[in-house]
Structure 1
Amino acid sequence: MGELAGVLAAMLSSGLGGTAIGATRYLIGLTDPLTLGAFRFGIGVVLLLPVVLLRRERWPGARDWPAVAALGLLFFALFPLLFNASLIHTTAARGALALSTLPVLTMVIAALFGVEKLTRRKSTGVLIAMGGVALALVAGLANAPPGAWHGDLLMVAAALCMALYSVSARPLMARSGPVAFTCFAMGVGAVCLGAIAAWRGGFASVAHFGAAQWWALLYLGVFGGAVVFILWAYALERTTPTRVAISITVNPIMASLVGALLLHEPIGWNLVAGLLAVFLGIWIATTGGRTAVAQA
C-alpha cells in the first residue's frame, strides 16, 4: 500500500504541476524567472512552516545542513531558473516533452548511484509513457519559434536537476521529516532567488500587477510551491526515484486537458491515445515487484 500511495501522490503532484505551467507561462512575460521563482517558493515556505510545526516533524540535523542546502539550491533555485527561462524560448508543448526526459535521467542516475536496479520492465514503461507524451503533444510540437532548441536544452537541464534531487534527497529525508526537509531546502532556494532578484531590481516588476496576476502568482505559490512538493516528498519517502519520476509524464497531459477545458481547445484523438499510453507506461514501470533500493 505504501508503494501505491507513493505513486498516486507523485501522479497528483505532477498533475498539479501541469496546471502550474499555465500560470508560469502567463506570468513569465510580465516579470523575470528569478523574481517568479522567489515568489513561488517564498509563498511555499510560508505555507509549509506551520505544517512542520503542527506535525512536530524533526528538522534536518546539523551534519546534513550542507547537503540539504546544496539540494535546495539545485532544486529550488537552479531548477526553477532553468524551467522559467526555457519557457521564454520554446513552446509549452516542446518544454513539456523536454521535461518528460526526467524518468530516463532519473533511472540512469539511480542506477549509477546504486539506488535502484535498471530493469527491462521499468525501462519499457518509461519509454511507453514518454511516447504517450510525444503523441499527445504532436500538434503543438510543429509550431516552434526560431531558436526553440535553446529552450528545449534549458528544460532538459532542469530535468537533470530534478533527477539529481529525487535520487539524492531520499536518504536525507529519511533522517528528518519529509515536509521539514522540503521546507528547509525550499527556504534555501527562496532566499537565494530572492536575494538575487532584489539585487537586480526584479521585484519592481510586480508593482504593476493587477488582480488577475496576483491570483495567478498566489496559485503558483500555493499549489506549485507548497502542495506539489509536499506530495513529491511524500512520494519519494514511499517508493523509488524512478517510480516517482515517471509520474512527470502526467504533467503535460494535464496541461493539455486544462487548456481544453478552460480555453475550449479541441481534444483530439492523439491526446486521448497519449493519455492512455502514459497510464499504460506508468502501470508497467510501477508493477511487477518491488525494486531493490539501497539502504541509506
Structure 2
Amino acid sequence: MGEILGVFAALLSSALGGTSIGATRYLVATLDPLAIGAFRFSLGFLFLLPIAIGKRGGWPPRRDWPGITGLGLLFFALFPMLFNASLIFTTAARGALALSTLPLLTLLVGALLRVEQLTKRKTAGVLIAMLGVGIALLAGLAGAPPGAWRGDLIMVAAAFCMALYSIWSKPFIRRCGPIPFTTMAMAVGAAALLTISWTRGSFQPVATFGTAQWLAVVYLGLFGAALTFFLWAFALERTAPTRVAISVTVNPITAALVGAVLLGEPLGSNLAIGIAAVFTGIWMATTGNNRSTEAIVSGAADELRPGSGS
C-alpha cells in the first residue's frame, strides 16, 4: 500500500508541476525567472512553516543540517537556475524532453551508488515513458533555434541535479519526515534565490503587478512549491527513487494540456499517443517485484544514517 501511495503522490506532484509551468509562462513576460523562483519557494516555505512547527518530532536533528542545506542549494537554487538558463537556448518542447531523462539518470545513478537495483523491466518502462514524451511533444520538436543543443545539455544537467536530490534526500526524509525536510531545504534555496534576485534588481516589475499576477504568484507558492515538493518528498519516503522520478514524464503532458486550455496553445493528435506511451512506461517501471529494490534502498538509508557502521 505504501508503494502505491508513493507512486500516486509522485504522479500528483508532477501533474501539479506541469500546471505550474503555465503560471510561470504567464509571469515570465513581466518578471525575471529567478525572481519567479524566489517568490515560488519563499511562499512555499511560508506555507509549509506552520505545518512543520506544529508537527510532532520538530525539526531535523542538527547532524543532518549540513546535508539538508546542500540538498536545498542543489534542488531549490541550482536546479531552477539551470532550468531557466536552458530555455534561453532551446525550445520548451526540447527542454521538456531533455528533462524527461530524469528517470533514466536516477536509475543509472542509483545503480552506480547501489541504492537501487537496475532491472530490465524498469529500464524498459523508463525508455517507453521517455519515448511517449517525445511523441507528445513532436510538433514542438520540429523547429529548433541555432545552438539549441546547449540548452538541451543544460537541461540534462538540471535533471542530473534532480536525480541526485531524489537519491540523496531519501535517508534524511526517512529520519525526520517529508514536511520538516522539505521546509528546511526549500528555505535554503529560497534564501539563495532571494539574494541573487535582489542583487540583480529583479523585483522592480512587481510594482506594476495586478490581481492576476499576484494570483499566479500565490498559486506557484501554494501548489507549485509547497504541495508539489511535499508530495515529492512524501513519495521518496515510500518508494524507490526511480519510481518517483519516472512520474516527471507526466509534467510536460500536463503543461501541454494547461497551455491549451489557458493559453490557447495548439494540441496535436500525437498527444493522445504520447500519453498512452507515458502511462504504459510508468506502469512497467512501477510494477513487478518490489521487494529486492526496497531492501537495497532501506539498506542504503541505514548506511547513510549518521553514527551507523563502525
* Class of the TM-score when normalised by the shorter of the 2 chains: over 0.9
Aligned-partner Cα distance in 1 for 2:180–2:206: 29
Gaps of 5+ in 2: 302-310
Q: CA deviation at 1:227?
A: 0.8
| Paired residues for 1:1-296 under 5 Å | 1-290=1-290, 291-292=293-294, 293-294=296-297, 295=299, 296=301
Residues 33 and 84 of structure 2 are in contact (CA less than 8 Å); yes or no, is this contact kept in structure 1? yes
Structure 1 residues 48, 88: CA separation in 2 closer, same or farther (over 3 Å shift)?
Answer: same
Structure 1 unaligned segments of length 5 or more: list them.
none
Change (3 A) 1:118 1:257: same
Q: 2: CA distance between counterparts of 1:24 and 1:147?
A: 24
Moved more, 285-294 or 119-128: 285-294
Identical positions, percent? 65
CA distance in 2, matches of 1:91, 1:22: 15
- Name the CA shift for 1:177/1:263 in 2 (closer, same or farther; >3 Å): same
Alpha-carbon spacing, 1:263–1:224, altered in 2? closer, same or farther (3 Å): same
TM superposition outliers: structure 1 runs of 4+ over 4 Å: none
Shift of residue 211, structure 1, vs aligned partner: 2.3
Quote the Cα distance in structure 1 between the aligned partners of 2:143 and 2:213: 26
Q: What letter corresponds to residue 172 of structure 1 in structure 2?
A: F
How far off is 1:266 after superposition? 4.7
Cα RMSD between the aligned structures?
1.5
The answer on whether the counterparts of 2:139 and 2:268 sit within 8 Å (CA) in structure 1 is no
Name the SS of the counterpart of 2:275 in structure 1.
Answer: helix
1:264 is displaced (CA, Å) by: 4.5
For residues 166-225 of structure 1, the C-alpha deviation after alignment (integer angstroms, 9 at most, x for no partner) is 000000111112110000000011111111211222222322222222222221111111
State the one-letter code of the partner of 2:68: V
Give the superposition deviation at 1:54.
2.9
Letter in 2 for 1:134: G
* Distance (whole Å) between structure 2 residues aligned to residue 27 and residue 262 of structure 1: 13
Q: Which amino acid aligns with 2:240?
A: T
Q: Deviations over 1:34-92 (max 9, x none)?
A: 21211110000000011112333431111111110000000000011111222233222
**Cα distance change, pair 6–26 in 1 and its aligned pair in 2 (3 A):** same
Question: What is the rounded CA distance, in whole Å, between the counterparts of 1:146 and 1:220 in structure 2?
Answer: 31
**8 Å contact 1:128–1:281 — kept in the other structure?**
yes
Aligned residue pairs, count: 296
The alignment's TM-score, normalised by the length of structure 2, stands at 0.91
Letter of the structure 2 residue corresponding to residue 270 of structure 1 = N
TM-score by length of 1: 0.96
